[in-house]
Copies of this chain bind each other. A is one copy, B any other.
Amino acid sequence: MIREITNNDILSMDKQMRTNLINSLSGIRPANLIGTISKNGVTNLAIFNSVMHIGANPPLMGFIMRPTSVERHTYNNIIDSGEFTINHVTEAFYKKAHQTSARYDVSEFNATGLEPFYSNNLKAPYVAISPVKIGLSFIDDQLIKSNNTRLIIGEIEEIIIDDHSLNEDNILQLQHTLSIGVGGLETYYSLQKIDQLPYAKANQ
Contact = CB atoms under 8 A, between A and B. Distances in A.
Interface of A: 1-7, 10-11, 13, 15-32, 50-62, 64, 86, 88, 91, 94-95, 98-105, 111, 119, 121, 132, 134, 139-140, 142, 144-147, 149, 151, 153, 155-164, 166, 169-175, 179-181, 183-184, 186-202, 204
Given A2-B162, A21-B172, A102-B204, 19 more contacts: A4-B119, A4-B160, A5-B161, A10-B159, A16-B169, A17-B169, A27-B32, A27-B51, A27-B174, A29-B53, A54-B144, A60-B146, A95-B197, A102-B201, A142-B145, A174-B187, A188-B193, A189-B192, A190-B194
Contact of A190 (B13, B191, B199): B191
A22 B60 CA distance: 8
